Every structure is written in C-alpha cells, then in structure tokens.
Amino acid sequence: MTRTELLAVLAAAIAAPSARPSHAQPIVAEVTLERDADELLAPFTVAIALDNTTGGVVRLEFPTADLFRIDVIRDDSPVWSSLTNHKPIPVNRQIDVPPGRLKLASMTIDGTTDDRRAYAPGRYTVRVAMLGTTFGVIVDKQIDFAEPAAIADVAKLKAGTVVTIAGEQTVVGGIVQLHDATGAIRMSRSLGIRPTGVFVVRGFLDASGDDRTFDVGRFAPAFDSPRPSPSPD
C-alpha cells in the first residue's frame, strides 16, 4: 500500500457513515464508552473489543502499526482525533483473534479538542474505525455533554462536590474570581497570566465556615472563546 493509498483510507474512515455490525460477520467490533460524569472536561474512556463469532482463529491484517483510529465529531466535523500529529508507521501487522471476545484496547480522552479547548455542550459522535486491510468496520457511539453549572448554584453545593463551571476570570481586591451571568466565586488559583475570554473550569467546592472557594482542577478555553496565550491545564 502506497502512502497516497494509506492517506485515502484514513480520510475515508472519518467521513464514512457508521457501519452496522452484524453477527453474520466473522469478526464484530464492539465499542463501549465509560465515564463518571457527563460534564465538560470530565474524561471518558473508549473501550474496543473484537468478537470472533466463528469456531476458529481468524487472522486480521493491518497495513500500519495502528489498528484503529478514534475521532470525536461535532456537527459532522472532527474536533479531536487519536491520529492528530501522529504519523502512521507503514509496517504490516497481524493479529490472530481467537473464538469469543477479545479485549483489544482502551483509550481515555480528556474532553478537550485538538487545539486544547473544552468541548461545547451538546451531542457528539465517537467514531471508531478499524484500519485493517480487509477489516474496515466503523462503529459510531453517541455521547452528550451537559451545560456548565451556574456559579450561583455551585456556591450552594455541599463541600467537596466535583462540578464544571464556566466564566471569565476577574481579580477583585487581589482575589481571583470566576464570574458568569449568575454570580462570581473565588478560585484557588489563577487560570494564567492575564487570561482573557471564557474558560471552562472543573474542580470542587471548598468551604470553610461561610467562605466558599472553588478548588481548580482542570481548565481550558471555552469552545467558542478566542484562545488566549496561556496553555490550558
């Protein structure tokens, strides 16, 4: 397989509609999504297994070292891909799949785009494309992400509750805050050096008496926000 042919196969994997696996096929690709929360910046894991429905070993061949690719798609456009900045190694690879179910791989996705922004709320398609020479099954799974919580509501939560909020950073009297249309909350640390625009922030509420502080865990520029100079954490 030439490099041109290989690139054509990878491009087709993004654009192709979901294949509907059938147990009439000797090998069925099974994809499951696992996560603890549906909030922005909450990571999720894509688990891939192969189900050999025959009574014998089936050999699968791959034209590169990559067995599959994963794309996260919004409105028919990929926002993240496992092959971004990755150059496939053109080496033939074979896998012998025994009868029954074989756990092939799992990958944890951190909930940011290729340019390190947070996803926008809404529905996405997680597309897994097997890259075999004769095994090009594509499986689509839907995943939804909720709107960030209103800051006014977060201040009322029980201490230790993990949640995602969004807003702009301000500094008032030396205190770093994040504010949205409903209110503002003190943050445990700054989101960078003079950050601008809307940020999505995941962390937990820390309460001491009547004081409320949002302990920042992860953050990234909002999907539609102009990207500032500081890198997301």
Residues 6+ apart with CB under 8 A from 156: none
pLDDT tens-digit map of 21-51: 444 589 999 999 999 999 999 999 999 999 9
Domain with CATH 2.40.50.200 in the chain: 151-221
Q: How far apart are CA 167 and CA 197, in angstroms?
A: 8
pLDDT tens-digit map of 46-93: 999 999 999 999 999 999 999 999 999 999 999 999 999 888 889 999
Closest among 135, 116, 119, 107 to 35, alpha carbons compared: 107
**Topology of domain 151-221, per CATH?**
OB fold (Dihydrolipoamide Acetyltransferase, E2P) (2.40.50)
Architecture of domain 3-145: Sandwich (2.60)
Beta strands in the chain, from DSSP E residues, in sequence order? 27-35, 44-52, 58-62, 68-74, 77-81, 93-97, 100-109, 122-130, 138-145, 162-172, 175-180, 183-187, 199-208, 211-221
Q: How far apart are CA 70 and CA 47, in angstroms?
A: 11
Lowest mean pLDDT among 18-22, 57-61, 118-122, 154-158: 18-22
Closest among 101, 134, 120 to 32, alpha carbons compared: 101
Q: How far apart are CA 175 and CA 189, in angstroms?
A: 9
Confidence band, pLDDT 50/70/90 cuts, at residue 155: confident
Domain with CATH 2.60.40.2360 in the chain: 3-145
